[in-house]
């Protein structure tokens, strides 16, 4: 069994950094390690996803650890390149190291490892689920580094509560005309501006956390003396609760349709991507609290953390009947923050994160 340190595994993953949906070499590297550790590995699951299995007795719960493989794309000094700015290299290194520890033990139950592609574009989890990645899994555990604003080094939350998120593409169709004769056209900038205002006037219960905002608005072309006939907007929706996301979506859809219709424009609304709100299992959360106290010390136990960020991890428990999941957030003094291309963290967190996953499995099987 390969003895490479968790730091060396992290370095290799960090240097590979591949964008969402293009994790070919990362997947090959992780699969090679997992096979060396004795796992049977199914590759190309929902793209470049991996499902690795160490079989055990059926009377014990099948426990799976999950990490995402994709990096983010930045333009740095005029060059486009992928950077592991969300810490997925660290998350994969911790899960892989935990996978090796589990393989060294005579573990009674089945262990599965899920390495997921394309999390940042919210397509990887559903693609893996369509390829039956979660078949037979009883308990799924996710672990993600958290920014220093949420957790200091070794602090850990037993329940990271992601918001529901949904991104809409809005295409507004008007009528082109000479800008001197606007009455003959339908100006999509007017319609789009009305839509922006209508979206900003959507209100849910103010005691609940939610947001709706336009993040992209393209209209008009090379000739400025034309009334433009096509506009494209992107709308980003967030809500802490899954039910609130349903009503937010309905209200925003109605606001866009009615406001653009009032301008005589036609509109198409489609969902570009979405992820459901967190769905952490309360019993697993209690076990995670115990695991954190045992491995990191009670002084490092944080309460559940609500984060406005989304994660398609929660599709696993929301779409697979009987699958229970929990998502832990580990502090590593991540600075200046996640999704910053200059992101750095304290690597002392890596072996602790791996130990935390292993101890989670021990507590789950004893429960």
To Zn ion, the closest distance from the beta carbon of 52 in angstroms equals: 20
Rounded-to-integer distance, Cα 336 and Cα 338, Å = 7
User: Minimal distance in Å, beta carbon 311 to Zn ion?
Assistant: 7
Q: Smaller CB distance to Zn ion: residue 86 or 128?
A: 86
CB of 88 to Zn ion, least distance (A): 6
Query: Taking the CA atoms of the chain, what radius of gyration do you get in angstroms?
Result: 23
Nearer Cβ to Zn ion (86/102): 86
Nearer to Zn ion, 67 or 103 (CB): 67
* Packing angle, helices 88-104 and 6-16, rounded to 10: 140
Q: Which of 263, 286, 281, 361 is nearest to 320 (CA)?
A: 281
CB nearer Zn ion, residue 33 or residue 122: 122
Q: Which residue is nearest to Zn ion (CB)?
A: 86
* Minimum CB distance to Zn ion, residue 144 (Å): 6
- Enter the tokens of residue 329: 């957030």
Shortest Å, Cβ 6 to Zn ion: 19
Nearer to Zn ion, 86 or 360 (CB): 86
- The residues binding Zn ion (CB under 5 A) are 86
| Least Å from the CB of residue 250 to Zn ion | 28
Q: By C-beta, is 227 or 332 nearer to Zn ion? A: 332
**Measuring CA to CA, how many Å separate 222 from each of 173, 181, 226, 228?**
18, 18, 9, 10
Name the residue with tokens 């520890």. 101
Which of 45/86 has CB closer to Zn ion?
Answer: 86
CB of 73 to Zn ion, least distance (A): 12
For 118, 129, 143, 261, the CA distances from 114, given in Å and listed in that order, are: 13, 11, 12, 46
Residue 63 dihedral angles phi and psi, to the nearest 5°: -105, 135
| Least gap, CB of 68 to Zn ion (angstroms) | 6
Residue 354's CB is within 10 A of a number of other CB atoms, namely 24
**Toward Zn ion, which CB reaches closer, 50 or 204?**
50
CA distance 142 to 193: 41
Cβ-defined contacts of 253-258 (< 8 Å, 24+): 253/168, 255/195, 255/198, 255/199, 255/201, 255/202, 256/170, 256/195, 256/198, 256/199, 258/198
| Sequence-distant (≥ 6) Cβ neighbours of residue 147 within 8 angstroms | 334, 335, 337, 338
């Amino acid at each position: 069994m390969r003895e490479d340190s968790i730091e060396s595994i992290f370095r290799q993953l960090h240097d590979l950094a591949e964008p969402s949906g293009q994790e070919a070499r990362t997947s090959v590297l992780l699969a090679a390690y997992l096979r060396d550790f004795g796992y049977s590995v199914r590759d190309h699951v929902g793209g470049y996803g991996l499902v690795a299995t160490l079989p055990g007795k059926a009377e014990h719960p099948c426990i799976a650890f999950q990490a995402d493989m994709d990096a983010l794309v930045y333009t740095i000094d005029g060059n486009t390149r992928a950077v592991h700015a969300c810490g997925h290299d660290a998350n994969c290194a911790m899960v892989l190291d935990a996978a090796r520890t589990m393989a060294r033990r005579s573990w009674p139950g089945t262990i599965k490892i899920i390495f997921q592609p394309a999390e940042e574009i919210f397509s990887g989890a559903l693609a893996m689920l369509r390829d039956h990645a979660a078949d037979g899994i009883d308990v799924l555990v996710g672990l993600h580094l958290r920014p220093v604003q949420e957790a200091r080094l070794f602090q850990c939350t037993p329940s990271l509560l992601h918001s529901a998120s949904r991104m809409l593409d809005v295409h507004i169709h008007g009528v082109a005309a000479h800008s001197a004769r606007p009455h003959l056209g339908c100006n999509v900038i007017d319609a789009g501006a009305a839509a922006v205002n209508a979206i900003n006037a959507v209100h849910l219960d103010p005691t609940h956390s939610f947001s709706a905002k336009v993040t992209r608005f393209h209209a008009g072309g090379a000739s400025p003396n034309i009334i433009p006939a096509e506009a494209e907007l992107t709308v980003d929706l967030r809500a802490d609760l899954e039910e609130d996301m349903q009503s937010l979506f309905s209200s925003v859809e109605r606001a866009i349709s009615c406001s653009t219709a009032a301008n005589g424009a036609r509109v198409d609304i489609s969902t570009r991507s979405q992820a459901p709100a967190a769905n952490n299992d309360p019993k697993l959360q209690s076990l995670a609290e115990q695991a954190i106290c045992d491995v990191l010390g009670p002084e490092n136990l944080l309460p559940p953390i609500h984060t406005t960020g989304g994660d398609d991890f929660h599709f696993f428990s929301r779409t697979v009947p009987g699958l229970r999941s929990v998502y832990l957030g580990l502090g590593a003094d991540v600075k200046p923050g996640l999704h910053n291309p200059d992101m750095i963290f304290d690597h002392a967190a890596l072996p602790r994160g791996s130990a935390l996953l292993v101890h989670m499995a021990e507590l789950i099987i004893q429960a």
